C-alpha cells in the first residue's frame, strides 16, 4: 500500500526538528549569516560554505517594519533550499510572524526563531512551530530582560540572544549580552541551543562561549574573509578552547 502523500510530508517535516537538535552534539556551532553573502552568486557561496564544513546556515529575515531594513523572504529561501541540504536556522525579524509561518515551513526551514518583542505571548506560536516539524526558537533584543522570555523557555528548542540591535550586519558586539547568556545558560535545559547573534568574531566568540553560548551566528567574520573554511575553523577553535580551557 502506497503511503498517503500528506503522511510522507509530515514524516519529512518532523525530521527537521530532530535534525536540528542533533546539531547540539557537535557544539560549538558556527552558523554563517546569509545576510552577508553575495546574492548575485548564491550557488557559488553555498558551494564555498559546504566546502568549509559549516554545520548550518543562518537566515536573517527582515521586513522593514519590525526592524529598519529589508532582506529576503520565503521565495529566496526556497530557492536556496534547492542548492543545499544544510540545516536552515531562520531568524524572523518581522512583525506578525504567525501570519507567515507556514510559508517558512514550506520553504524548508529546519528551525524558526521569533522575537519576544514581536510576539509578547509566544508560547502558542512556539508550539505551532514545533507542530509544523521545525525547531522552535525565541530571540530577545539587547534592551529586553531575560525575565520577559522566562515563562516560554520550556517551549523553546533554541534561545537567541542578540548582541547587537537587529536590522543591520557589521555591528560591534555588545558585552551586555554576556550577562544574559550566563543567566540563560543556567535556566534552559541541556537539550536547548543557546545562540548569540551580532558582532561575533575571533575577538568576541571566546567570551560568548565562556558565558554558555553553543551556536554562534557569524556574518562579517566569515564572509569578509578570503577563505571561508579558514575563518570558520578559527572561530570554531576559539569557541572550543574557551568552552573547554583545560583541553
49-107 per-position pLDDT tens digit: 999 999 999 999 999 999 988 899 999 999 999 999 999 999 999 999 999 999 999 99
Distance CA 173, CA 146 (A): 18
Q: Which of 74-83, 103-112, 116-125, 238-247 has the lowest mean pLDDT?
A: 238-247
- Asked if omega into 15 is within 30° of 0 (cis), the reply is no
- Output helix, strand, coil percentages for the chain, rounded to the nearest 5: 45, 20, 40
Is residue 159 scored above 70 in pLDDT? yes
Mean pLDDT of the residues in the chain: 91
Is residue 181 scored above 70 in pLDDT? yes
Give the model's pLDDT for residue 143.
Answer: 95
Is residue 4 scored above 70 in pLDDT? no
Q: 3-class SS at 192? A: coil
Which of the 8 DSSP states describes residue 75?
Answer: H
Distance CA 152, CA 158 (A): 11
Superfamily of the domain at 5-242:
Aldolase class I (3.20.20.70)
189-234 per-position pLDDT tens digit: 999 999 999 999 999 999 999 999 999 999 999 999 999 999 999 9
Q: How confident is the model at residue 247 (pLDDT cuts 50, 70, 90)?
A: very low
Are 210 and 238 contacting, i.e. CB atoms less than 8 angstroms apart?
no
pLDDT over 90 for what percent of the chain?
84
> If you average pLDDT over residues 147-164, what whole number do you get?
98
13-35 per-position pLDDT tens digit: 457 899 999 999 999 999 999 99
Reported in sequence order, the residue ranges of 63-171 that DSSP labels E, i.e. its strands, are 88-93, 111-115, 135-140, 158-162
Give the model's pLDDT for residue 167.
Answer: 72
The better pLDDT of the pair 166, 41 is held by 41
Boundaries of every domain in the chain? 5-242
Write the CA distances from 122 to 61, 108, 152, 195, integer angstroms.
Answer: 18, 22, 7, 18
Give the model's pLDDT for residue 15.
Answer: 78
Give the model's pLDDT for residue 70.
Answer: 85
Phi, psi angles (nearest 5°) of residue 86? -60, 140
The yes-or-no answer on residue 89 being catalytic is no
Choose, from 38, 53, 60, 191, the residue flagged as catalytic.
Answer: 60
Q: Which of 104-113, 126-135, 162-171, 195-204 has the lowest mean pLDDT?
A: 162-171
Cα angle 18, 134, 139; round to 5: 110
The yes-or-no answer on residue 197 being catalytic is yes
Is residue 122 scored above 80 in pLDDT? yes
Choose, from 53, 191, 197, 224, the residue flagged as catalytic.
Answer: 197
Residues whose CB is less than 8 angstroms from the CB of residue 137 and which lie 6 or more positions away in sequence, other chains included: 89, 91, 111, 112, 113, 114, 129, 156, 157, 158, 159, 160, 193, 195
Give the model's pLDDT for residue 244.
Answer: 79
Query: Of 119, 130, 128, whose CA–CA distance to 93 is shortest?
Result: 119
Amino acid at each position: 500500500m502506497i503511503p498517503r502523500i500528506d503522511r510522507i510530508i509530515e514524516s519529512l517535516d518532523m525530521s527537521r526538528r530532530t535534525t536540528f537538535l542533533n546539531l547540539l552534539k557537535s557544539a560549538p556551532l558556527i552558523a554563517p549569516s546569509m545576510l552577508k553573502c553575495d546574492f548575485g552568486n548564491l550557488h557559488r557561496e553555498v558551494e564555498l560554505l559546504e566546502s568549509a564544513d559549516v554545520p548550518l546556515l543562518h537566515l536573517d529575515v527582515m521586513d522593514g517594519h519590525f526592524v529598519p531594513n529589508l532582506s529576503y523572504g520565503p521565495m529566496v529561501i526556497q530557492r536556496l533550499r534547492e542548492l543545499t541540504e544544510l540545516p536552515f536556522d531562520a531568524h524572523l525579524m518581522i512583525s506578525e510572524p504567525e501570519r507567515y509561518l507556514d510559508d517558512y515551513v514550506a520553504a524548508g526551514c529546519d528551525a524558526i526563531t521569533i522575537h519576544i518583542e514581536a510576539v509578547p505571548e509566544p508560547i502558542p506560536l512556539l508550539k505551532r512551530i514545533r507542530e509544523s516539524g521545525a525547531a522552535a526558537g525565541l530571540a530577545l533584543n539587547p534592551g529586553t530582560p531575560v525575565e520577559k522570555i522566562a515563562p516560554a523557555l520550556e517551549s523553546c528548542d533554541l534561545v537567541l540572544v542578540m548582541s547587537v540591535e537587529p536590522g543591520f550586519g557589521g555591528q560591534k558586539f555588545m558585552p551586555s549580552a554576556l550577562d544574559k547568556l550566563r543567566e540563560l545558560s543556567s535556566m534552559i535545559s541541556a537539550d536547548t541551543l543557546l545562540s548569540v547573534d551580532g558582532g561575533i568574531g575571533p575577538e568576541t566568540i571566546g567570551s560568548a562561549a565562556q558565558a554558555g553560548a553553543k551556536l554562534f551566528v557569524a556574518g562579517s567574520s566569515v564572509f569578509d574573509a578570503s577563505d571561508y573554511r579558514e575563518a570558520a575553523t578559527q572561530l570554531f577553535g576559539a569557541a572550543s578552547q574557551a568552552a573547554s580551557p583545560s583541553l
